Structure 1
Amino acid sequence: MKVAIIGGTGFVGFHLTRHLLAAGHIPRLLVRPGSEGRIEERDACEIVQGDVEDRASLNDCLAGADAVIYLIGILREFPARGVTFDALQHQGVVKTIAAAQAQGVERFLLMSANGIHADGTPYQRTKYQAEQALKASSLRWTIFRPSVIFGDPQGRMEFCSQLKKDIIDSPLPAPLFYRGLLPTNAGGFELAPVSVGDVAAAFTLALAESRTESQTYSLCGPQRYSWKAILNTIAAASGKHKLMMPAPVLPIQAAASLFDRYPWFPISRDQIQMLMEGNVCHDNDSFARLGLTPTPFGVDQLTYL
């Protein structure tokens, strides 16, 4: 099967390309000029130079494909540089849907995100809008909503390596965020980290099984971990013991309101809000529905750190 991938040079795209090749598929990647070096097995892939905002590039990428996978997602937007949630997470999907319909590609797999909703942050809202656009189309769709994803980053941005760089390796104590005036349950909000290999396996399986059509799968790891437990695990995997202390969210949000427009500031207001909401699957049966066994999060899985 020839599979067009939009966003194939990113973290998930790198691992998904490996899985697709192992399953005998031919990945066709839409790649910005100059980013060809980010593709591991270039000779086994088809490469189309272009950008998701260019309809001609999308048409070239999707022409003759059997399916398309849309992976593009960003954690922060920088409107001054033209990098926005709406352009990449919503309008990019709308344009890819239109190109798929024009090129006769009927199968569409979308990477959304766990915990999104219509009235959430701009990140959550644009992911939700993309889902609605796909569901309203005539395409045979499958939507995946992963929680925070961990795994060997291969030089790309990844959840655990980013926390190691920004928090564990910092000389400052690790922040255990909390709301309100008192540090009640500081760092107690929960996440359910999911392996990038398991996410890639889910996408690959969906291409082969029609039962996954018109289905939405929330992909979470098998266990929930508090923010504090996750930081301790990353520290242990890094061979360190990290001092931690309660950190009230309000002043951090105030600082972010002033500085999160700049790339050097480590976190945005929306990221803080979503972090405090937690990120777990309330009906954690998607891997069972797919017939897959998710990988547990732990020190043994973080040797890449």
Structure 2
Amino acid sequence: MKVAIIGGTGFVGLYITRHLLAAGHVPRLLVRPGSESKVERPESCEIVHGDVSDPSSLVECVRGCDAVIYLIGILREFPAQGITFEALQYQGVVDTIAAAQENCVGRFVLMSANGIRPDGTAYQRTKYRAEQALKDSGLRWTIFRPSVIFGDAEGRMEFCSQLKKDIINSPLPAPLFHAGLLPTKAGLFELAPVSIEDVADAFVLALSESRTESQTYSLCGPERLSWKAILSTIAAASGRTKLMVPAPALAIKAAAGLFDRFPWFPISRDQIRMLMEGNVCTENDGFARLGLTPTHFGVDQLGYLARGD
């Protein structure tokens, strides 16, 4: 099967491309000029140079393919640089759907996100609208909604590596965010980290099994872990201990209100909001429905954090 991948040079795209090749598929990647070095095993992939903002590039990428996988997502937007949720998480999906329809590519697999909703943050709203556009497209679709994803980043951005860089390696105490003024529940909101290997397995399985069509799967790891427990695990995997202190979210949001338009500031107001909402699966377990067993999140699975600073 020839599979077009939009967003194939990122962290998730790296692993999905590997798993597609291992399963005997032929990935065709849309690659921006200058990003060719991010393609692993380029001799085994087909490369289309272009950008998601160019509909003609999308048409070229999907033409002759059996399926399309759309992976592009960002955690923060920087409108001055043309990096927006609207463009990359919604309009890019709409344009890729149109390219697939034009070229009779009937199969479309979309990476969304756990916890999205129509009345949430800009990140959540654009992901939700993209899902609706795909469901209304007439294509044979599958949607995956992973929680926070962990795994060896290999130089790309990844949840645990980013927390190690921004929090664990910082000389400042780690913040245990809490609502209100009293720190009675500081750092106790829960996430369900999911392995990138498991996410890639789910995507590849969806291409070969018709039972996954017209289905939405939330992908969460087997444990619901508090923010405090996750930071402790990342610190231990990095060979460190870390002081942690309660941090009122209102104060952090106030600082983010001043500085989150700058890339050097580590977190945005919306990221704080979504983080404190938690990110665990509340619907039927996606991995159980797929017949897959998710990977435990622990020190042994985070060995890649011990490499470098």
User: Is TM more than 0.5 here?
Assistant: yes
Q: SS of 1:267's equivalent?
A: coil
Alignment-mate amino acid for residue 283 of structure 2 = D
Distance 2:171 2:33 in 1: 38
| CA deviation string 1:205-243 (max 9, x = no partner) | 000000000000000000100000000000000011100
Distance 2:183 2:225 in 1: 19
1:69 lines up with 2:69 in the alignment: yes
Shift of 1:185: 1.3
Q: SS of 2:216's equivalent?
A: strand
Distance 1:284 1:226 in 2: 21
Distance 1:302 1:219 in 2: 19
1:42 is aligned to: 42
Shift of 1:25: 0.1
| CA deviation string 1:168-226 (max 9, x = no partner) | 00011000000111001100000000000000000000000000000000000001000
Distance 1:13 1:126 in 2: 20
Distance 1:188 1:56 in 2: 47
Q: Which runs of 5 or more residues in structure 2 are unaligned?
A: none
Structure 2 length-normalised TM: 0.98
Q: SS of 1:258's equivalent?
A: helix
2:154 is aligned to: 154
Alignment-mate amino acid for residue 165 of structure 2 = K
Shift of 1:283: 2.6
Distance 1:277 1:115 in 2: 9
Alignment-mate amino acid for residue 8 of structure 1 = G
Alignment-mate amino acid for residue 166 of structure 2 = D
1:213 lines up with 2:243 in the alignment: no
CA RMSD, Structure 1 to Structure 2 (Å): 0.5
Distance 2:218 2:129 in 1: 17
2:21 is aligned to: 21
Shift of 1:121: 0.1
2:125 is aligned to: 125
Distance 1:270 1:78 in 2: 13
Distance 1:62 1:281 in 2: 32
1:201 lines up with 2:190 in the alignment: no
1:142 is aligned to: 142
> For the Cα contact (< 8 Å) 1:220–1:284, is it kept in 2?
no
Q: Which runs of 5 or more residues in structure 1 are unaligned?
A: none
Distance 1:257 1:295 in 2: 37
Structure 1 length-normalised TM: 0.99
1:257 is aligned to: 257
Alignment-mate amino acid for residue 171 of structure 2 = P
1:80 lines up with 2:80 in the alignment: yes
Distance 2:7 2:35 in 1: 11
1:247 is aligned to: 247
Distance 2:285 2:164 in 1: 30
Shift of 1:282: 1.1
Shift of 1:284: 4.7
1:180 lines up with 2:163 in the alignment: no
Alignment-mate amino acid for residue 262 of structure 1 = F
Alignment-mate amino acid for residue 202 of structure 2 = A
1:95 is aligned to: 95
Q: SS of 1:188's equivalent?
A: coil
Q: SS of 1:302's equivalent?
A: helix
State, as a whole percentage, how many aligned pairs show the same letter. Answer: 79
Distance 1:163 1:200 in 2: 22
Distance 2:251 2:189 in 1: 18
Distance 1:185 1:178 in 2: 6
Residue-pair matches, total: 305
C-alpha spacing 1:241/1:284, structure 2 compared with 1 (3 Å): farther
Distance 1:273 1:283 in 2: 21
